[in-house]
């Protein structure tokens, strides 16, 4: 049952980052490339009509995590308290930026909430990438000092950064040179995904320009990907062992590189749906590759005193997991029905749909 719920949560999280990822990406595109008021309005609409339904998947993932792996849930929500509070505020300001923008026609009012939407989207993409970097790097479980664990083996608390700004220290912070690189990869990936979404769903005047921007960003992403793999070997020399021991897991990096290679042909792709599929594969492959490299570990320990958190030593009792299965099936059905209905109602271009008035 532990493996089932791990896979189920991984799927829900991946769907969240694919769906809300294009919202974040649209915000980044809006911040840097939308200059005309008509483009700003339609790009805002391309995110605003979808963001609240997309974030349902995050709520679902959090609830499932609390149910299936309560020890892990308690550990990360206390250990990552500071960045989680920052993420919460960014989600709030991003949402009110979308909802408040069109309430008045004053330009200064629109500019304030445009910046709120764009900057919050950029920082959310960055912090979610940094979060992934922390998961694959590991933390000082038990707060070990000089070989002695000061707390229980699942407890940790991270400052935003430490004085060395290094992931190789015994007491890493949330932000260091490794997690920053992963965060930048997240920003570039979601900017590509958001640009594909804007092209797919709108008739914005910058759509043709965005195709060229996607190509350039993809070059940057390729370089960052290779650089991050090199850094990952420095931070964790055993990071690729799972792929050697279980070659079938290589399907996940292959998914990532299919998306990466496909986006180099963005200007030649006639159907925008295919381009959006390639950036979807980027996100899906990146998340699943990271999880596959750790499995069954879900939070590595950087000290030898306390063992890493796994799906087995953090799981709820077997009875609880089995009972939750019945309700989980009902929840999944409702979630999928909600998703299908919402996407059908908002299918096609959204330029002439009403939002924010």
Q: Is the pLDDT of residue 333 over 60?
A: yes
pLDDT tens string 85-115: 999 999 999 988 888 887 888 888 888 988 9
| CA proximity to 17, closest of 68, 58, 50, 46 | 58
Highest-confidence range of 33-47, 215-229, 305-319, by mean pLDDT?
Answer: 215-229
Q: Is the pLDDT of residue 248 over 80?
A: yes
Residue with tokens 């005309």: 36
Q: What pLDDT score was predicted for residue 355? A: 65
CA–chain centroid gap for 105, Å, is 33
Q: Are 8 and 328 a contacting pair, CB within 8 Å?
A: yes
| CA proximity to 151, closest of 160, 142, 163 | 142
- What mean pLDDT is predicted for residues 255-268? 91
Alpha-carbon span 74 to 319, nearest angstrom: 20
Residue 250 has a CB neighbour count (10 Å cut-off) of 14
Q: Is the pLDDT of residue 247 over 80?
A: yes
Judged by phi (left if over 0) then psi (alpha if -120 to 50, else beta), residue 140 lies in: beta
Residue 357 has a CB neighbour count (10 Å cut-off) of 5
Q: What is the mean pLDDT of the chain?
A: 88
Report residue 116 as tokens. Answer: 């709120």
Which pTM value belongs to this model?
0.91
pLDDT tens string 137-176: 988 888 888 777 777 878 888 888 888 888 888 888 899 9
Write the DSSP symbol of residue 315. P
């Amino acid at each position: 049952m532990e493996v089932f719920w791990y896979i189920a949560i991984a799927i829900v999280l991946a769907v969240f980052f694919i769906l809300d990822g294009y919202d974040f990406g649209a915000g980044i595109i809006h911040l840097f490339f939308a200059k005309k008021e008509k483009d700003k309005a339609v790009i805002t609409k391309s995110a605003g009509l979808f963001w609240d339904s997309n974030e349902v998947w995050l709520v679902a993932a959090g609830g499932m995590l609390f149910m299936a792996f309560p020890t892990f849930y308690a550990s990360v929500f206390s250990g990552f308290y500071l960045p989680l509070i920052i993420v919460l505020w960014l989600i709030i300001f991003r949402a009110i930026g979308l909802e408040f923008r069109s309430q008045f026609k004053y330009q200064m009012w629109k500019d304030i909430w445009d910046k709120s939407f764009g900057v919050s989207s950029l920082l959310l993409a960055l912090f979610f990438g940094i979060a992934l970097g922390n998961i694959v790097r590991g933390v000082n479980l038990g707060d070990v000092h000089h070989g002695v664990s000061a707390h229980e083996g699942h407890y940790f608390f991270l400052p935003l950064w430490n004085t060395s700004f290094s992931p190789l220290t015994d007491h890493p912070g949330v932000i260091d040179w490794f997690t920053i690189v992963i965060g930048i990869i997240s920003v570039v990936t979601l900017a590509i995904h958001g640009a594909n979404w804007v092209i797919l769903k709108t008739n914005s005047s910058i759509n043709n320009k965005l195709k060229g921007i996607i190509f350039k960003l993809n070059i940057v992403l390729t370089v960052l990907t290779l650089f991050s793999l090199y850094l990952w070997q420095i931070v964790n020399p055993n990071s690729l062992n799972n792929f050697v021991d279980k070659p079938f897991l290589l399907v996940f990096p292959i998914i990532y590189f299919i998306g990466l290679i496909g986006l180099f042909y963005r200007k030649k792709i006639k159907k925008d749906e295919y381009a959006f599929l390639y950036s979807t594969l980027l996100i899906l492959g990146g998340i699943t590759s990271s999880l596959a490299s750790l499995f069954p570990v879900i939070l590595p320990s950087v000290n030898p005193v306390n063992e890493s958190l796994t799906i087995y030593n953090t799981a709820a009792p077997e009875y609880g997991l089995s009972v939750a299965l019945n309700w989980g099936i009902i929840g999944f059905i409702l979630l999928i029905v909600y998703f299908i209905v919402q996407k059908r109602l908002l299918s096609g271009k959204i330029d002439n749909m009403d939002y924010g008035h």
